[in-house]
Structure 1
Amino acid sequence: MFKNIKLVFLAIAAIVVTSCEDDFLETTPTDAISAADAFATTENMALVLNGLHRGQYAQSQTIFSGGDSNRSGNHYWVPLGDNLAGGMIHSAVANNLGWQNEAQWTSHTQETSLTSEQLWYARYNTIASANALINNATNGTVVEDDRLREIIGQAYSYRAYAYLSLIQHYAKGYLIGSPSTDPGVPLLFSSDSPFSSAPRSTVAEIYTQMESDIDSAISYFENATSRSTGSADAKSQLNIDVAYGLKARIALSKGDWATAAAAAVTARQNYPLMDEEDYKSGFNTTLLPEVIWGSNVITTETVFFRSYFYLISNTFNGSQVRSNPKIADKRLIDLIPDTDYRKDLFLVDAPNTNGSASNGLGGYENNTNPLYPTEDAFDEEVLRLKNIYGLTEAAFNLHPYMQVKLRNANPGSTDPDDIIYMRSSEMYLIEAEAETMLGNIGAAQTALQQLGGARDSAYDATVFNTQDALMDHIKFQRGVELWGEGFLYTDKIRWDDGIDHAANGGSGASFVLYQDGYQQARPSENNNWIFKIPQAEIDANPNLTSSDQN
C-alpha cells in the first residue's frame, strides 16, 4: 500500500497543477512540485481535488504506481457489480480484460488477481488523497472560507465513499454477520509517507468512521459555495446532495432504516425523475436531470477499450461487444408489464445472429421465434434493429433479451461517455426499502408510486400491501430501474440472496460459460462473496498477516 499511495498523490498533484495553472508551471518545474505548494492556496487544493475526480475513471497506471492498464477505475468497478451478481449476462465467449473470469467467480476469489489488487489500491489511493486534502485544509495554514469548506466537504465525502466500497467488498455484510467482531479493513489517516495504516478494524468501526466522515461532509457543505449547474462537468463535483445520498447508502447497508429513508428524501430533492425520452437516451451523460453525481469523462481522457460502455453496452465498437451481446436475466425482463416503457430497452425478440452464441441457437437455421417465419423476415428485423441502434458494422451480433439501456452517445464508435454514479430514482428505492423494513407500508407505497408511476402508465403500488410483497417488488424494481448501474452485487449481500441461473426456467446464462458463477449460495453462508485481500498488501503491510486473509 505504502509505495503506491505515496506516488498516486504526487502524480495527481503534479498532473492537475501543471495542466491547469500556467502561472504555476512558469515558476515550478513539473518534477519539483511539493506537497506544500499543492496545498498552499485554496485554488491549488481545488486542482488536487480535480485530480481526484479524474482518478475515479482514468487508466490506473496513469494515476498511481502499481496501476494496471487493464483497469480504468469506475469504468470497470461500476459494471462489475452487475457482472459478478449475474444481472448482466454474457451471451457468448469473449474474455477481454478478464471480464468473463469475473462472471465465473475465478477472479475476486484469488488473492493475486488483478481485480482484488486494483480495487483495493484504487480505493486506498482515494482515501490517501482525501486525507491529504482534509489534513492540509483543516490545519489552519489556509484561511477557511466558503470555497475551502466546499473542498473539505468533497474530501470527506470521497473518504466515506471509498470506505463504503472497501467494506462492502472485503468484509462480510453488516446485516448478515457480526459487525462488532467481523474483521473489516484497515483505517488510514496519514497524508504523508510512510502511509502506515491501522490493522484491520472491525466492520462496525469502519461504519462508525464512514458515518462520522459523511456527517462532517454535510456540515462543511452547509456553509460552502454551491455546486454550479448546467454542465456535465459540474456533476463530477460532489456536493451536499451527494453526501446525503452516500449517507442513505451507508445507512441502508447497515439497516439504519430511519436514517436511510430521511437522507434519501433529502438527497433527491433537486433532481426530478427523467421522462421517457430522457430515460431512453442511453444513460451516457451526467446532464440527465435525475443524475446527482457522476464522472464527466473528458475527450482527452478516453480509455477506448477499457471503458464502462465497452464492458456493458451493446453499441460500443469493440470486439468483445460485437461478438458477445450483453443480455439481461429473462426472468426479470419477462416480469416487466407491457405498460412499463423500461421494457422497450430489453430486446426480448431480437434475432439471434451469433453462430458462437452460448445457447447454440445463433443464425436463422436455429431460429425458434415464430415472429420470423422466413429468413427474409429474420434478416429484415436484424437490419431494422441495427439501423435504430447504430450498429454500423456487420460484425455486430444480436441476441434475444439484449439490452439497449446503456448506449454510447455516438453508437458504433469508441468515443468516451460519462459514468453515472447516483440518481434520484435510487433514492426513491432506498426510501421505499427502508420504510418497508420499518413496517411503514403506506410510506413505502407512496415512494414506489412516485417512481413506478413515472415509468409504468398502469402502475399501482397499493397492490403490494404486506412487508414481504413490498420487499419482493422492491427487488424487482431495483433490478429493472438500476440494471447495469452496478448495484446488484451489494444488493444481494444486503438481502442475503444467492445466485442461481438455473432456477425458475433459467436466466439465459450458460453453465458451460459461467462455471462457478452459475450458482453461488447466499452470502451469509458463503465467504466467496468476500473479496480476497491482495497478497501483495499482506506481504508489504506490517499490520497485516496471513491470518488476516479472507
Structure 2
Amino acid sequence: MLSKIKFMLFVILAVTITSCDEDFLETKPTDAISANDALATAENMALILNGLHRGLYAQSQTILPGGDSNRAGNHYWIPLGDNIAGGVIHTASSNNLGWQDETRWTSHTQETSLTSELLWYHRYNIIASSNAIINKATDGSLVEDDRLREILGQAYTYRVYAYLSLIQHYAKGYLIGNPTSDPGVPLLFSSEAPFTSAPRSTVEEIYNQMELDIDAAIGYFENATARPTGTADAKSQLNIDVAYGLKARVALSKGDWQTAADAAVMARQNYPLMDEADWKSGFNTTLLPEVIWGSNVITTETTFFRSYFYLICNTFNGSHNRNSPKIVDRRLYDQIPDTDYRKDVFLADAPNTNSSASNGQGGFGNDPNYDNEDEFNAKRLEYQEQYGWTSAHNEHPYMQVKFLQKNPGTTDPDDIIYMRSAEMYLIEAEAMAMMNDIPGAQAALEPLGTARDSNYDVSIYNTQESLMEHIKFQRGVELYGEGFLYTDKIRWDEGIDHAADGGSGASQVLYQNGFQQDRPSVNDDWIFKIPQKEIDANPNLGPGDQN
C-alpha cells in the first residue's frame, strides 16, 4: 500500500517507545528503535497501544507525515458526524478549521480536502499498527499469557474500529447498496514494507473481515488481564465491553439485527445509566458511569483550538464558539416533553445577542422573543453566570449546554466520549423494532426512557413504525453532538432538509449545499472521496476507483 503507512507506523513506535523502561532507553536510542525491538514483548506492544490511544486525539502532524495542525484526530472526527448531517446547527459564519466547509458539503466531497485525506490516513495508521501487533503476537515466538491476550484483544478491536470508520465513510452503506459488489476499501494485513494490500475489496468483504476480527478480539479478552477501573485514563484502554459495543455497531449497520441486539446487551452490563445530575454535568469526562470507552485527554498535550470542545461546546473560549453558538434542531426540541430533563440543556429562551446571526434576528430590537431590553439583558447575564461563558460569548435561542467544560470560559481540554451504555439500549431497541419484536423493543427502550422522563410511557409506541420514529427521536436527543447522525441517516436512508416541517433553525445562505441533500441511496455525495494522493501513489488503485 502507500509507503506513507510505513512512516506512520514508525512514528507511533518512536513516540510510544519513549515511555519504555529506563534500561531499554539506555541501550536503545529512541531514533534507532527497530520494529523487532518495539514488538519484542507484550509490554513493548502495550506502548504501541498507548501511542494509538494518544493518536486518537493528537494533532495529525504529530503522527502522520504531511499531517496538518487543523485536524486533531477524534476531536474533529467525532463532532463531524453531527456537523455534516446537520444535527448540531451553526448560528453564524465561522470558518475556523474549515468547519463551515463541512456544513456546506464542500469538504468531504473533494478528493484533495484535509478531511478526506486525513481521516483515511489516520484510520489506516491504526490498522498498520494493529497489524504489527497481531502479526508478531500470533507468529508463535511469544508465550501467549493473559497479558498478551489483552494486547491482542485491543489490537483486533482497534482494527475493527478503523475499518468500520473507513467503510462507513468511503463506501456506500451496507443497507442501501449492493454490498456483494459495491467497492469498499483496501484490506491491509502487512505491517512493514512493501505494505501490499488488495485493491478495493467489496463492502461485504470488509464486513466479513470485521466480523472475524471482533470475534477474535472477544475470544482473547475472555481469557485476558482485565482493564483497570476507577480512573479516567483506564477507559482509554479497550476491553471486552468495547469489543461487544463495536460488534453491535457493525451488526446494526449491516442489518444483522439479532447479533446487534445481543452484543449491545453484553456491552452495557457494567455501565449503569446516569442520573440527572451526571447527565447534565457536561459530558466532559470518561469517569461518567455510562462511559464504556473514551479518550482521557492529557492536559499537557492539549490541542487548544483544535479540540472537540472547541467545535461543540458553547462555553469554550474561542472565537468559533463566541461568534457562533451551536444550537439544536428546533423540530427535535419541540418533540421533547417537559417532563424529560434532557430538554433543560437546550436554552430555547436564550436571547439572540449576535447582531451577525445568520437568521437576521440578532441583537435587541431584532430578537422576536424579547420586547423589553432589560429582560433581554437580564436573561443574557443569567445564563452567562450560570454556565460560565465570558461576556464576549454570544447567545442564541435553542443553544445547547449539553457539553460543558470542567473549567468554563477557558481553553482547557476535556475528554472525548466514544461509547456509552445509553447507545447500547438504543441499538437493542432498533434491532428489536426492525425484527418487528414490539415487546422486545419496548423492553429495551423502557429503562432509558424512564431514566430521562418522569412521565415516560413506552406502551404508546406499539407498532414498528411508531417505534422506529420514537427511536430516531431518542437517538437525536440522547446522542446529540456525539457524532452518530451521519451514519444514522445512511442506515435509515434519510436526507437532509433544514427547511422541512417548520425549519431546523439553520440558514440556507449560511449552509448552502448542506441545507438540503437527497437521501444516501440516490446521492453518492454522502460517500467521502478517496484522497487523490492515495489514488496517485497506490498501485492497487486507479482513477476509476474514485468515489
Contact kept? 1:294, 1:419, Cα under 8 Å = yes
Taking structure 1 as the reference length, what is the TM-score of the superposition?
Answer: 0.99
Contact kept? 2:20, 2:44, Cα under 8 Å = no
Contact kept? 1:2, 1:193, Cα under 8 Å = no
The match for 2:263 is 263
The match for 1:298 is 298
Q: Which among 516, 521, 525 is matched to residue 522 of structure 2?
A: 525
Q: CA deviation at 1:20?
A: 4.1
Separation in structure 2 between the aligned mates of residue 37 and residue 60 of structure 1, nearest angstrom:
25
Q: CA deviation at 1:14?
A: 1.4
Deviations 1:430-464 (A, max 9, x none): 00000000111001001111101000000011100
* Range with bigger deviation, 193-202 or 286-295: 193-202
* Range with bigger deviation, 316-325 or 136-145: 136-145
Q: Which among 487, 490, 494 is matched to residue 493 of structure 1?
A: 490
Contact kept? 2:2, 2:534, Cα under 8 Å = no
Separation in structure 2 between the aligned mates of residue 99 and residue 21 of structure 1, nearest angstrom:
41
Contact kept? 2:365, 2:371, Cα under 8 Å = no
Separation in structure 1 between the aligned mates of residue 351 and residue 202 of structure 2, nearest angstrom:
51
Deviations 1:366-418 (A, max 9, x none): 1211xx441111101100100111112x2100000100001111111111111
Separation in structure 1 between the aligned mates of residue 505 and residue 160 of structure 2, nearest angstrom:
37
Contact kept? 2:75, 2:416, Cα under 8 Å = yes
Q: Does 1:385 align with 2:374?
A: no
Q: CA deviation at 1:196?
A: 2.0
Matches within 5 A, 1:470-489: 470-489=467-486
Which runs of 5 or more residues in structure 2 are unaligned? none
Matches within 5 A, 1:226-305: 226-305=226-305
The match for 2:222 is 222
Separation in structure 1 between the aligned mates of residue 5 and residue 300 of structure 2, nearest angstrom:
25
Q: Does 1:433 align with 2:430?
A: yes
Matches within 5 A, 1:26-425: 26-369=26-369, 372-392=370-390, 394-425=391-422
Q: CA deviation at 1:135?
A: 0.6
Separation in structure 1 between the aligned mates of residue 389 and residue 430 of structure 2, nearest angstrom:
38
* Range with bigger deviation, 193-202 or 233-242: 193-202
Separation in structure 2 between the aligned mates of residue 23 and residue 3 of structure 1, nearest angstrom:
32
Contact kept? 2:57, 2:73, Cα under 8 Å = yes
Q: CA deviation at 1:211?
A: 0.3
Query: What amino acid does structure 1 have at the position aligned with 2:107?
Result: S
* Range with bigger deviation, 490-499 or 58-67: 58-67
* Range with bigger deviation, 488-497 or 21-30: 21-30
Separation in structure 2 between the aligned mates of residue 3 and residue 65 of structure 1, nearest angstrom:
11
Q: CA deviation at 1:140?
A: 1.7
Query: What amino acid does structure 1 have at the position aligned with 2:231?
Result: S
* Over 6 Å off, 4+ runs: none
Query: What amino acid does structure 1 have at the position aligned with 2:157?
Result: S
Say which SS state the counterpart of residue 187 (structure 1) adopts: strand
Separation in structure 1 between the aligned mates of residue 371 and residue 79 of structure 2, nearest angstrom:
37
Contact kept? 2:273, 2:290, Cα under 8 Å = yes
Separation in structure 1 between the aligned mates of residue 141 and residue 301 of structure 2, nearest angstrom:
34
Q: CA deviation at 1:423?
A: 0.2
Query: What amino acid does structure 2 have at the position aligned with 1:279?
Result: W
Tell me the number of residue pairs that the alignment of Structure 1 and Structure 2 aligns: 547
Query: What amino acid does structure 1 have at the position aligned with 2:184?
Result: G
Q: CA deviation at 1:21?
A: 2.6
Separation in structure 2 between the aligned mates of residue 493 and residue 527 of structure 1, nearest angstrom:
11
Q: Which among 446, 451, 455 is matched to residue 454 of structure 1?
A: 451
Separation in structure 1 between the aligned mates of residue 23 and residue 508 of structure 2, nearest angstrom:
60
Q: CA deviation at 1:66?
A: 2.0
Question: How large is the RMSD of aligned CA atoms in angstroms?
Answer: 0.8
Contact kept? 2:19, 2:47, Cα under 8 Å = no
Deviations 1:72-111 (A, max 9, x none): 0000000000000000000000100000100000000011
Query: What amino acid does structure 2 have at the position aligned with 1:387?
Result: E
Q: Does 1:6 align with 2:6?
A: yes
Contact kept? 1:17, 1:24, Cα under 8 Å = no
Which runs of 5 or more residues in structure 1 are unaligned? none
Contact kept? 1:9, 1:129, Cα under 8 Å = yes
Say which SS state the counterpart of residue 444 (structure 2) adopts: helix
Deviations 1:274-324 (A, max 9, x none): 000000000000000000000111111100000000011101110001001
Deviations 1:182-219 (A, max 9, x none): 00000000011121211000000000000000000000
Query: What amino acid does structure 1 have at the position aligned with 2:60?
Result: S
Separation in structure 2 between the aligned mates of residue 4 and residue 340 of structure 1, nearest angstrom:
49
